[in-house]
Amino acid sequence: MSIIRSCASSARAAQSTASVLPAGLRARVWIEARHFFSRDSAQSNCWLWLLRDNGRVIALRVDAQGFGRDDRLPALLAHFVDDDAPPFTDGKGLPAWQLRHAPVVPLTRWAVSWGHPLQHEIRAFAAALDHGILDALGWLEAPGPFFGSVGNYNRLVACPPVVRSHRVQAIEQFPVLVAPLLLDVVGRPDMFGNDEDVPERAALRRAGSQHVLDAIDRGRDLVGALAAHHGVDRALVRSPLLREPLAAGHVSRETLQLLAAMPAHARPRTRDELEAWLPCLEQLPVLVRHRADIERLARVFRGGWDASWQAVETLFRPLPAVLRDCRDFLQSALEQVELPPRLVLLDANRLGLAWLSRRGLASLLQASRRWHAQALVEHRVDDGVPAQVTPVVGQYRGADGLATEILTRERLVEEGENMHHCVGGYWNDCALHAMRIFHCEDSEGAVATAQFNCNGHVESPTYALAELGGIANTEADPGMVRLARQLETLLNDEVTQAQRLLAVQEAAAAMRAFRPGVARLQRPLDLRSRDELRQVLDWCGRQPDWQPREGVLWRGGIAGFAYAQGEQVRMRLACGDALRLVREPGNPHDPRAVRVEWSGYRLGYVPRRDNAGIAAALDAGLLVDGEIVALHREDLWSPIEFIVTARPAEAVA
């Protein structure tokens, strides 16, 4: 009899609720703060779940004074027509905020027994939802992340029934690869609207995935589409390793490609084996820029994923922290060695990758441990000033004599010693301010030193003769003066314009990298580490894709990528792709603007702070090209690193 009364009571409650709901609404649940969160100790909020006739769910945080105000439901339904609707206010001081990452079904925390009227409302609300979608989202959550959000439910329920069925099946078959492309991955439910950047992160993961969606929706070759999208082989896609949800909800594209680059026998065999070492992988002191770097890193694990980590974990604990400390060792190693010109692009991340690939994980950890054990000693840090500059003229022979541009620090010091004056101390002016010094001599053996200062203007740099003196600063003869004036004219001629631009840009880059040489405490490298470092650097010098390129004007990222057409092609971009640079002299925001394009798509602009020299090169008629040299796909704002090169038009056949 009690069961009959309970069922009748539930039916009456549901019938009563349904009778007052406005058109277009199938169910609603109001929940007070006292039934939800201790965080809202002042109980200044309440929560509202709405289920539309079209199956879409709306979760709202409402001012507590609006609790139970069903008269507001029509206005809320009219306002929150999609998941991107802004906060609502009706002018009566009762605002409402949409919660895209709240649970699709409200779950109370306490003070609500199973027979409580609120529980009846919640169960009636849940009964009206698509249980196939709920089960799929709940299965993804088994290891840890939260998928059962309002936004994820709506994204699936909005699809036509056949498409919805295909997408749910794809999620269940390939959770690691498909779920991040279709759904938002968050660590916990958001009941206050704090995770506003989640949609942007989700859009980043879904960028360029239309071919995967087509394969899902049309029942095509999904394995092949996933393999192409993630840049891995079909065998890895089909492996049991990726058929179960992960605790993180997803893995990065670079991690998937690392697994694909390993020999099949070396890959982790189970989900637990993979996830056990992912925190250590994230702390490796490396930054993979392209496929070749991933293949280099894969060599570390050729003896087996689990075996490689276990071999060092027993000796270095806690391993993630020890790996993180390696970055300090690698940075110090770079500061204590003079790199050859061919390794000018080497940084700590690339050195770490080289050490791992050449000598292995244990060698790097041992070298870092030895370095950390060294006593601190006073060390004068290199100021970063380059030891050589780009020539503007090189050498000039006129009727009155020969002038030779001084391009190295050592040669300038030699000039000062031979001429018995202080020009030997002017190297920082040459390297950081584009000053140029010339050694001049005539046919009878008279010598002089000419100093030309640069105005440093990035668009149209010019040179002016500042000093001209003979040995011990004696006055130069008239022939030397004429030679210096001819040299000044040549320095400012159109034929040297490109070289002047390069000199100024080189000096600006050197100034940005300049750090005054000051004494500080530093741990020196032991002899064994120095020998190992030499081996690693020799290996680096044999990597052709790590060598600097001639004629490079600039290297950096694209400004405005997230606001142009870059998101449409993000996943199609590859290292080595050519970029077109286009001047926009009429740009209302920046007359020096340089637009960056890929296959007709506008990716953004050269950053304003760096575009003057490139704009001037384009305006001067030089052939200016761009090339993608690194991709950071997880970076929402600047995923591309590219170089800009320039050459005279006559250099093209």
Q: Do 30 and 123 reside in the same domain of the chain?
A: yes
Q: Do 461 and 574 reside in the same domain of the chain?
A: no
Alpha-carbon span 274 to 258, nearest angstrom: 12
Q: Do 39 and 59 reside in the same domain of the chain?
A: yes
Q: Do 35 and 104 reside in the same domain of the chain?
A: yes
Query: Which pLDDT band holds residue 379 (cuts at 50, 70, 90)?
Result: low
Alpha-carbon span 480 to 471, nearest angstrom: 13
Res 284 pLDDT > 70: yes
Number of domains in the chain: 4
Give 591's contacts (C-beta < 8 A, 6+ positions apart): 585
The predicted structure's pLDDT at residue 300 = 96
The predicted structure's pLDDT at residue 653 = 41
The predicted structure's pLDDT at residue 516 = 65
The predicted structure's pLDDT at residue 411 = 93
Query: Residue 396 in contact with residue 490, Cβ under 8 Å?
Result: yes
Q: Do 416 and 457 reside in the same domain of the chain?
A: yes
Give 193's contacts (C-beta < 8 A, 6+ positions apart): 61, 97, 98, 99
Q: Do 359 and 322 reside in the same domain of the chain?
A: yes
Query: Which pLDDT band holds residue 380 (cuts at 50, 70, 90)?
Result: low
The tens digit of pLDDT for each residue in 607-626 reads 887 787 788 888 888 888 89
Alpha-carbon span 156 to 148, nearest angstrom: 11
Half-sphere exposure of 293 (CA within 13 A, CB side): 20
Q: Do 263 and 368 reside in the same domain of the chain?
A: yes
The CATH number of residue 636's host domain is 3.30.70.2330
Q: Do 502 and 568 reside in the same domain of the chain?
A: no
50 forms bridges with which residues in the sheet?
Answer: 28, 58
Q: Do 341 and 453 reside in the same domain of the chain?
A: no
446 found inside a domain: yes
Q: In terms of pTM, does the model score above 0.75?
A: no
Alpha-carbon span 523 to 539, nearest angstrom: 25
Q: Among residues of the chain, what percentage have pLDDT more than 90? A: 49
482 found inside a domain: yes
- According to DSSP, residue 388 is labeled B
Q: Do 508 and 528 reside in the same domain of the chain?
A: no
Q: What is the largest CA-CA distance in the chain?
A: 126
Q: Is the dihedral of CA 540, 542, 543, 544 positive or negative?
A: positive
Task: Note down the domain range covering 577.
Answer: 549-651
The tens digit of pLDDT for each residue in 324-345 reads 899 989 988 988 888 887 786 6
Query: Which pLDDT band holds residue 253 (cuts at 50, 70, 90)?
Result: confident
Res 651 pLDDT > 70: no
484 found inside a domain: yes
Give the residue among 639, 634, 638 at the shortest CA–CA distance from 252: 634
Q: What is the CA radius of gyration of the chain?
A: 33
* Torsion, CA 110, CA 115, CA 116, CA 122, rounded to 10: 80
12 found inside a domain: no
388 found inside a domain: no
The predicted structure's pLDDT at residue 224 = 95
Res 219 pLDDT > 80: yes
525 found inside a domain: yes
Query: Residue 67 in contact with residue 46, Cβ under 8 Å?
Result: yes
The tens digit of pLDDT for each residue in 123-143 reads 999 999 999 999 999 999 877
For 481, the token pair is 């003066």
Cα angle, residue 622 at apex, residues 620 and 625 outer, rounded to 5°: 130
Report the 10 Å Cβ neighbour count for 635: 14
Domain boundary among 106, 129, 152: 129
The predicted structure's pLDDT at residue 9 = 44
Res 5 pLDDT > 70: no
Give the residue among 306, 316, 347, 307 at the shortest CA–CA distance from 330: 347
Q: Could you tell me what percentage of the chain is helix, strand and coil, using 3-state DSSP and rounding each to the nearest 5?
A: 45, 15, 35
213 found inside a domain: no
Alpha-carbon span 251 to 177, nearest angstrom: 8
For 42, the token pair is 């002042």
- According to DSSP, residue 291 is labeled H
Higher per-residue pLDDT: 208 or 503:
503
The tens digit of pLDDT for each residue in 553-603 reads 788 889 888 788 887 888 788 888 899 999 998 888 888 899 999 988 999
The tens digit of pLDDT for each residue in 71-80 reads 989 999 999 9
Q: Do 339 and 409 reside in the same domain of the chain?
A: no
Q: Do 404 and 295 reside in the same domain of the chain?
A: no
Alpha-carbon span 457 to 503, nearest angstrom: 11
Alpha-carbon span 124 to 49, nearest angstrom: 12
299 found inside a domain: yes
For 494, the token pair is 């159109």
Over residues 193-211, mean pLDDT: 61
